């Protein structure tokens, strides 16, 4: 074991930085630095550049278009992307459904969907939660009735992130009701343009529109879009959740956000003093940093396993729990630093063409909305309570 970089690694680091400098849109970067929502174009433009470079899918096997990077290269890439504030690649395609298709998909499914995920031609969303099935996902009731050439689906999905832009949804549906709930679920791929699909926004506390309700009324899904076997969707879903939990730790983004807090702390925002002189505040920053360091090592360990082809185990839940808490802590610190300027509500300040004057410092303009919005991280992706249940059962064997 060692943590040092070789000469090749250092050269790779330079290559990553050159790539970012040449390809990252300045306005997108500014939005990220100030915590604003990104548009579809912001995300897709960046992903297309990654694709052109061949760097879209570090987590995929090389034969499907993965990078074939070593653990060190994966680490360097994440680190540099985090530090430079590049858009996070949308996880639903490349980190969530793609590993499922690679593991369980037919040859036809692989050749049809994987290249379109790589090139960002398809925008994917996740159809898991339902109004009555959140933490208790297995109780889901969206019903798929079998027809000659496929299924007809009726039901409602909720908390569907960025479904307003989506071309495809991977969806869990009930194909059998006369058995244990987990045994009657199937995993399918749904074309969002199918007749009977409608998307309705859910506005969150920060005033943003990220999540949606998706209503399915007599929606046809062809039988070719079933992944793995009918009624084996729970196996597929569990495989996918392990991958989701690993990617949800957001270590490099949190490192960047925390270094931003340290920058803010250096500003003279307390009369002619700064928060750097306030040990009450700085101790909180450091405590957060300590937890983040522990998380970083744990995440590296999981990447190392991934490179070796070992699938994520229940320990991934620990990454999700701490990663989500740290993201929230950092937003608390920015909120505290903002003082009175946490109050103004200026949601459209970064939009192109907006000429409202900025109120207070730029960095504080999203402090409160960001704090409110980030409450979601301990709720989504399987709430932290559910993650603790998983750990209690699978690791503690209680």
Partner 1 sequence: MDLSLNEDQELIKNSVEKFIIETYDSESRRKTIKSNLGSDDNIWKQFAELGWLGLPFSEKDGGFGGDYMDLHIIMESFGKGLVIEPYISTVILSGTILSLCPESSIRNKIIDNIINGLNKVSFAYAEPNSRYNINDIGTTAELVNNQWALNGHKAVVFGAGQADYIIISARTSGNRYDNEGISLFVVDKNNPGLEIQDYPTVDGFKAAEVRLNNVYLSNENLICSENQGYNLIKMTIDKTLVAIAAEASGIMSKMYEMTLEYIKTRKQFGVAIGKFQAIQHRTVEMLILSDEMKSLASMAALKANDSLEDVKSIYASKIHIGIGGRKLGQEAIQLHGGMGVTEEMDIGQYFKRLTMLDTFLGNSDYYLGAYSKIS
From the list 35-43, 55-63, 171-179, 354-362, the region that binds partner 1 by CB under 8 A is 354-362
CB 156 within 8 A of CB 87: no
Instruction: Verify binding: residue 385, partner 1, rule CB under 8 A.
Output: yes
Contact by Cβ (8 Å): 170, 189: yes
β-strand 143-146 against 185-191: which pairing, if any?
unpaired
User: Could you tell me the smallest distance in angstroms from the CB atom of residue 239 to partner 1?
Assistant: 22
What lies within 8 Å, CB to CB, of 274 at 6+ separation is: 265, 266, 267, 268
Residue 44 found at the interface with partner 1 (CB under 8 A): no
CB-nearer residue toward partner 1: 138 or 300: 138
Among 158, 225, 247, 317, binds partner 1 (CB under 8 A): 158
CB of 343 to partner 1, least distance (A): 4
Q: What angle do CA 28, 348, 338 make, to 5 degrees?
A: 85
Q: Which has the closest alpha carbon to 264: 378, 185, 360? A: 360
Please identify which residue in 162, 338, 382, 390 interacts with partner 1, judged by CB under 8 A.
Answer: 338
- What is the closest distance, in whole angstroms, from the C-beta atom of residue 313 to partner 1 in the complex? 23
Q: Any contact of residue 380 with partner 1 (CB under 8 A)?
A: yes
How far apart are the C-alpha atoms of 385 and 379, rounded to whole Å? 8
Q: Which of residues 183-202 bind partner 1 (CB under 8 A)?
A: 202
Kindly state whether residue 369 participates in binding partner 1, applying the rule CB under 8 A: yes
User: Cα(73)–Cα(60) distance, rounded to whole angstroms?
Assistant: 14
Under rule CB under 8 A, residue 69 binds partner 1: no
Among 10, 11, 200, 205, binds partner 1 (CB under 8 A): 205
Q: Distance between CA atoms of 89 and 92, rounded to whole angstroms? A: 9
Q: How far apart are CA 278 and CA 284, in angstroms?
A: 10
Contacts of 41 (CB under 8 A, 6+ apart): none
Cβ distance to partner 1 smaller for residue 10 or 395: 395
**Which residue stretch of 11-19, 20-28, 146-154, 263-271 sits at the interface with partner 1 (rule: CB under 8 A)?**
263-271
For partner 1 (CB under 8 A), the number of binding residues is 53
Output the CA–CA distances (angstroms, integers) from residue 145 to 129, 231, 239, 291, in the order listed.
Answer: 19, 12, 25, 48
> Can residue 204 be called a binding residue for partner 1 (CB under 8 A)?
yes
- Given the rule CB under 8 A, which residues bind partner 1? 129, 132-136, 139, 158-159, 202-205, 207, 211, 268-272, 278, 280-281, 328, 332, 335-336, 338-346, 357, 359-360, 368-369, 371-373, 375-376, 378-380, 383-385, 388
């Amino acid at each position: 074991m060692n943590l040092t970089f070789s000469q090749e690694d250092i050269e790779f680091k330079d290559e990553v930085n050159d790539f970012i400098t040449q390809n990252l849109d300045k306005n997108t970067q500014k939005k990220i630095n100030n915590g604003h929502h990104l548009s579809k174009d912001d995300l897709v433009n960046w992903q297309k550049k990654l694709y052109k470079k061949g760097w879209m899918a570090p987590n995929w096997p090389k034969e499907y278009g993965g990078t074939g990077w070593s653990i060190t290269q994966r680490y360097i890439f994440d680190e540099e992307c985090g530090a430079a504030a590049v858009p996070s690649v949308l996880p639903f395609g490349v980190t969530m459904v793609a590993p499922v298709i690679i593991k369980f998909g037919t040859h036809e499914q692989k050749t049809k969907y994987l290249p379109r995920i790589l090139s960002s031609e398809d925008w994917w969303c996740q159809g898991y939660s339902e109004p009555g099935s959140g933490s208790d996902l297995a109780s889901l009731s969206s019903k798929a009735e079998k027809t000659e050439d496929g299924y007809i689906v009726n039901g409602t999905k909720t908390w569907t992130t960025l479904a307003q832009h989506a071309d495809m949804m991977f969806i869990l549906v009930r194909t059998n009701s006369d058995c244990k709930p987990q045994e009657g679920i199937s995993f399918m791929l749904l074309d969002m343009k199918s007749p009977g699909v409608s998307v309705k926004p859910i506005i969150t506390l920060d005033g943003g529109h990220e999540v949606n309700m998706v209503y399915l009324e007599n929606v046809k899904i062809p039988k070719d879009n079933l992944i793995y076997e009918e009624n084996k969707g729970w196996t597929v879903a569990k495989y996918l959740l392990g991958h989701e939990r690993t990617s949800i730790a957001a270590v490099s983004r949190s490192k960047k956000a925390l270094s931003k807090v340290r920058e803010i702390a250096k500003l003279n925002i307390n009369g002619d003093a700064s928060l750097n002189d306030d040990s009450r505040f700085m101790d909180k920053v450091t405590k957060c940093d300590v937890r983040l360091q522990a998380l970083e090592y744990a995440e590296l360990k999981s990447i190392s396993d991934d490179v070796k082809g070992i699938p994520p185990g229940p320990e991934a839940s620990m990454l999700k729990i701490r990663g989500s808490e740290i993201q929230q802590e950092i937003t608390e610190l920015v909120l505290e630093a903002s003082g009175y300027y946490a109050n103004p509500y200026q949601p459209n300040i970064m939009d192109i063409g907006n000429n409202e004057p900025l109120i207070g410092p730029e960095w504080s303009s999203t402090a409160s909305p960001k704090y409110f919005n980030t409450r979601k991280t301990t709720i989504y992706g399987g709430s932290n309570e559910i993650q603790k249940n998983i750990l209690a059962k699978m690791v503690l064997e209680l």
